[in-house]
A and B are shown apart, each in its own frame.
Chain A
Amino acid sequence: MYREKETCITGIGQSAIYRKPTVYPFTLALDACEAAIADAGLTPADIDGVACHPLGSSMVGEGNASASPTDIQKSLDLKLTYYGSGENAAQFSPVLNAIAAITAGYCKHVLVWRAMGERWIPMYSHGFKAAVLPRSVSWKVWLEPFWAPSASNWVGIHASAHMHKYGITREQMSAIPIVQRRNAARNPKAIYREPLTLDQYMDARMVSTPFCLYDCDVPCDGTTAVVISRADLAKDMRQKPVFFEAVGGGAQGNIGDWVSRPDFPDMMMHDAAKMMWSRTDLKPKDVDTAHLYDGFTYLTMFWLEALGFCKEGESGAFIEGGHRISPDGELPLNTNGGQLSEGRMHAFGHLHEAVLQLRGQAGDRQIKDAKVSVSGVGGGGLGGAVLLRAD
Chain B
Amino acid sequence: MSEAPLMRPLPVITDMNSYFWRSGGEGLRILRCGGCDRYSHPYVGRCPSCGSRDVKPQTVSGRATVVGFTVNHQPWFPHVPVPYVIAYVELEEQSDIRLATNIVNCPVEDVAIGMKVKVVFEKQDDDIYIPLFEPA
Question: In the complex, what distance in Å separates the CA atom of A234 from the CA atom of B70?
Answer: 48
- In the complex, how many angstroms separate the beta carbon of A291 from the nearest chain B beta carbon? 27
Q: Indicate if B100 sits at the interface (CB-CB under 8 A).
A: yes
Of B84, B96, B101, B132, which is within 8 A of A260 by CB? Answer: B96
Write out, one digit per residue, whether chain A residues 354-366 have a CB within 8 A of any chain B CB (1) or not (0): 0000000000000
Q: Tell me if B88 and A135 are in contact (CB < 8 A).
A: no
In Å, the complex CA distance between A124 and B78 comes to 11
> Is B136's CB within 8 Å of the partner chain A?
no
Q: Is B19 an interface residue (CB 8 A)?
A: no
Tell me if A153 and B70 are in contact (CB < 8 A).
yes
Q: Is B67 an interface residue (CB 8 A)?
A: yes
Determine if B74 and A161 form an interchain contact, defined as CB atoms under 8 angstroms apart: no
Docked pose: A27 CA to B67 CA in angstroms: 45
Q: Nearest-CB distance from B115 to chain A (Å)? A: 12
List 5 contacting pairs A-B, 8 Å CB cutoff, sorted by A: A145-B11, A146-B8, A146-B86, A157-B70, A260-B97
Q: How far is the CB of A108 from chain B (nearest CB, A)?
A: 41
- Contact between A147 and B102, CB atoms less than 8 A apart: yes
Residue in B8, B17, B74, B78 with the greatest tally of chain A CB atoms within 10 Å: B74
Complex Cα–Cα for A137 and B42 (A): 13
Main secondary structure of the interface of B (DSSP, over half): strand
Q: What is the minimal beta-carbon distance from B62 to any residue of chain A, in angstroms?
A: 16
Q: Residues of A at under 8 Å CB distance from B?
A: 124, 128-129, 133-137, 141-150, 152-153, 156-161, 164, 205-210, 257-260, 262, 264-265
Residues 112 to 136 of chain B near chain A (Cβ within 8 Å): 113, 130, 132
Q: How far, in angstroms, from A129 to B87 measured CA to CA in the complex?
A: 23
B interface residue count range (under 10 / 10 to 19 / 20 to 34 / 35 or more): 35 or more
Is there contact, CB below 8 Å, between B42 and A147?
Answer: no
Q: State whether A160 touches B17 (Cβ < 8 A).
A: no
**Which listed residue, A135, A152, A207, A262, touches B9 by the CB 8 Å rule?**
A135
Q: Roughly how many angstroms separate A206 CA and B75 CA in the complex, as a whole number?
A: 11
The answer for the CA separation of A50 and B121 in the assembled complex, in Å, is 48
The CB with the most chain A CB atoms within 10 A, among B70, B73, B84, is that of B70
Contact across chains for A260 and B42 when beta carbons are under 8 A apart? yes
**Inside 8 A of B12's CB, which chain A residues have their CB?**
135-137, 141
Indicate if B106 sits at the interface (CB-CB under 8 A).
no
Residues from chain B with Cβ under 8 Å of A129 in the complex: 77-78
Given contacts A143-B100, A161-B113, A209-B71, contact A264 B76 (CB under 8 A): no
Contacts of B50 in A (CB 8 A): none
Given A147-B80, A259-B98, the answer on whether A161 and B68 have CB atoms closer than 8 Å is yes
| A150 CB to nearest chain B CB (Å) | 6
Judge whether B71 and A206 touch: CB under 8 Å: yes
Which residue of chain A has its CB nearest to the CB of B73?
A206
CB neighbors of A among B55-114 (8 A)? 67-74, 76-78, 80, 83-84, 86-88, 96-102, 113
Q: Which residues of A contact B100 (CB under 8 A)?
A: 142-143, 146, 148, 157, 258-259
Q: Is B4 an interface residue when CB atoms closer than 8 A count as contact?
A: no
Q: What residues on B are CB-neighbors of A150 within 8 Å? A: 74, 76
Q: How far is the CA of A37 from the CA of B67 in the complex (A)?
A: 48
Given A161-B113, A259-B88, residue A133 in contact with residue B101 (CB < 8 A): no
Q: CB of B1 within 8 A of chain A?
A: no
Of chain B, the residue at the smallest CB distance from A129 is B78
Residues in A whose Cβ lies below 8 Å from that of B73: 205-209
* A145 neighbours in B (Cβ, 8 Å): 8-11, 130
Q: Tell whether, in the assembled complex, residue A161 and residue B70 are in contact, meaning their CB atoms are under 8 Å apart.
A: no
Question: Are A135 and B86 interface neighbours, CB within 8 A?
Answer: no
Residues of B within 8 A of A148 (CB): 72, 86, 100
Closest to A132 in B: B7
Q: Which of A146, A209, A258 is packed against the most chain B CB atoms within 10 Å?
A: A146
A266 to chain B: closest CB distance in Å? Answer: 12
- List residues of B (35-60) whose CB comes within 8 Å of A's CBs: 41-42
Cβ contact within 8 Å between A133 and B8: yes
